[in-house]
Amino acid sequence: RAPASTALIFDKRTTIIALVVLATLTLTKNAYMASLSSYYTFFLIDKFGVGVQDAQLLLFVFLGASAAGVFLGGPIGDRFGAKFVIWFSILGVLPFTLLLPYADLTWTVVLTILIGLIFSSAFSAIVVFAQELMPGRVGMIAGIFFGFAFGAGGIAAAALGAVADVTSIEYVFWLCSFLPLAGLLTVFLPDMGKVR
């Protein structure tokens, strides 16, 4: 079998800018998801007086919605394109993340389900977009972005924990609500349709 072409489909500058944008989106997405998955139970207990068992159940619901989002992101990206999924999944959650710190318990549950479902759909689209930017380097790109995603999530969880110690968990959730604004950087991603 002939080796896959590794020629860049855009010039080097465009490719580097696009990869930096994708890395930034991965960082902000995973920072937000890390804050939610790590501190959601404490947020529910502190703000609403929810019992530990109920808080853990609601965390499970959020994580289930996140898993469904990852699964749905692939076929949606196949149909509408990776760039559309990135736009929708990262900017699309912004109204929900901004509302979350002010919601009552019922709406908090609804909003976190929507956030998990929509936000998580971005990851597969980001990886696919990066792989299309650098054809023939599928393994390298997948390794970098998967490694970066897990690393960023862990570092963000630790940093946000330190912030929560000196402020409050509610403040951390308020602070993180602005992270999806990074989705505006998607405007700097090149249009793959022009090279197909």
pLDDT in tens, 71-109: 998 899 889 889 999 999 988 999 999 999 999 999 999
With beta carbons less than 8 A apart as the criterion, state whether 36 and 112 touch: yes
User: Distance between CA atoms of 77 and 129, rounded to whole angstroms?
Assistant: 10
Q: How does DSSP classify residue 9?
A: S
Task: Note the pTM of the prediction, 2 decimals.
Answer: 0.90
Taking CA atoms, 143 is separated from 112, 139, 149, 151, 168, in Å, by: 29, 6, 10, 12, 35
Domain-by-domain residue ranges, the chain?
12-189
In whole angstroms, how far apart are CA 180 and each of 25, 30, 96, 122? Answer: 8, 10, 10, 12
Question: 12-189, superfamily in CATH?
Answer: MFS general substrate transporter like domains (1.20.1250.20)
Helix axes 122-133, 52-80, angle to 10 degrees: 40
Q: Tens digit of pLDDT for each residue in 59-68?
A: 999 999 999 9
Structure tokens, 30: 């995973």
Please provide the average confidence, as pLDDT, over all residues in the chain: 90
Sequential pLDDT tens for the chain (196 residues): 545 566 788 899 999 999 999 988 988 898 899 889 999 999 999 999 999 999 999 999 999 999 999 999 889 988 988 999 999 998 899 999 999 999 999 999 999 999 999 999 998 899 889 988 988 888 888 888 878 777 877 888 899 999 999 999 999 999 999 999 999 999 999 987 665 5
Residue 97, amino acid: T
